[in-house]
Amino acid sequence: MIRGRANTPMYSGIITNYICTAACRHCMFSSYRYSKSLRGVGGMRDFITREKAGELAEKLSAAGVDSVHIGGGEPFINFAALCGLIEALGKRGIGIDYIETNAFWAVKESFVRRRLRRLRKLGVTTVMPSVDPFHIEFVPLGRVLLLCKLLREEGLDYFIWQERYLRRLYKLDHGRTYSHEELCEILGDDYVAATAREYGIGMNGRALEIAGGIYPKRTAQAFIKDGETCNLLSPRHCHIDLYGNVVPSGCPGLALPLDEFLAARVDRGRYPAFARLLGGGIGALYEYAAGLGFTPDGGGYATKCALCFNIRAWLNENHPSPDIAPGCFYIAMKDNKTGGKTDETL
């Protein structure tokens, strides 16, 4: 058992779901594109329930949390459930800092207004639409612009993440998406790496592929010799997902139940990967996995996180444990589909 100081999450967020209408190249959670065929597959169609929302709200309130932000996946895929979450949090005195969205749903003005008025009635004050060269592969810029216009008119605040790209992409056709090939012609062949550097994105999840094109490969032993540990119990900007697990800041695919996180208590037997990373960093995790038969990629790794993911993905398939979760993250990373258009049927 590893113990630390009791935690109170700060600047924390709630992950409503892991499904999305996009599959952006930089997505840390490797959110998977919506498809009717995904029903019941590894939690890919799951959304936070009213019961779970109430349970999390009670625990967070007791821990001293007075506000959270809401993200996904894409929270607006299930608007009724999103409102249920907001209501549950409100009953416990927990406010909403902002709600993240890619604005896929901002098509018809009357439809958008109804949703915004409902959110305002629930006490929501701020929405955070996303704009960048990765999102525009899936969501036309015009939807973000319409959402921002209606937010202003309905008396709600917003901030665009990241606004610099709104200015740069504004000259493009607002009514359509752009393929990777088109964006290479418009922004330059290196726009993916350049955007990632400028954006300051966490090089994890689907962004590991981007990192592979930026950083030189190093052996597993080189990263192990660095001797870095992982502060997985940091209360700053962690996320609590729809299953009631805490996802440490910057570490998707790792999970610890909220109760354990709040108590800063990690059972080494039940959560072997989490405990080893916490206590001894990537070297301890590697030693554990190697003892079970893991062998590293002979081609090396661009980052420590790439090595960590490789180990955890192998453990998930060969020696699963509840701290290597959710399953849909590993399914999505294995499939790792990008490209295409947002689903209009949602």
Average pLDDT over residues 62-88: 96
Give the bridge partners for 20, in sequence order: 33
Token pair belonging to 85: 């979450």
Indicate whether 338 belongs to any domain.
no
Average pLDDT over residues 197-218: 91
Indicate whether 146 belongs to any domain.
yes
Average pLDDT over residues 142-168: 96
Angle (CA) 14 265 233, round 5°: 50
User: For 7-16, 42-51, 121-130, 264-273, which range has the lowest pLDDT when averaged over its residues?
Assistant: 42-51
Mean pLDDT of the chain: 91
Indicate whether 45 belongs to any domain.
yes
pTM of the model: 0.93
DSSP secondary structure letters along 275-320: HHHHHHHHHHHHHHHHHHT----TT-BSSHHHHHHHHHHHHHHHS-
Average pLDDT over residues 324-346: 70
Q: Provide the domain count of the chain.
A: 1
Average pLDDT over residues 222-228: 88
Question: DSSP secondary-structure letter at 37?
Answer: G
Comparison of pLDDT for 196 and 201, the residue scoring more: 196
Average pLDDT over residues 300-326: 97
The percent of residues in the chain predicted with pLDDT above 90, rounded, is: 82
Q: Has residue 44 got a pLDDT over 90?
A: no
The CATH number linked to 128 is: 3.20.20
Indicate whether 297 belongs to any domain.
no
Q: How far apart are CA 58 and CA 259, in angstroms?
A: 11
Indicate whether 57 belongs to any domain.
yes
Secondary structure element (H or E) that encloses residue 158, with its range: strand 157-158
Q: What tens digit of pLDDT does each residue of 88-146 get?
A: 999 999 999 999 999 999 999 999 999 999 999 999 999 999 999 999 999 999 999 99
Using CA atoms, how far residue 322 sits from 155, 186, 257, 266, in Å, is: 43, 44, 9, 12
Indicate whether 193 belongs to any domain.
yes
Average pLDDT over residues 251-255: 96
> Residue 311 has what pLDDT?
98
Indicate whether 342 belongs to any domain.
no
> Residue 27 has what pLDDT?
95
> Residue 235 has what pLDDT?
87
Domain that holds residue 158: 8-214+234-263
Indicate whether 337 belongs to any domain.
no
Token pair belonging to 243: 């299953």
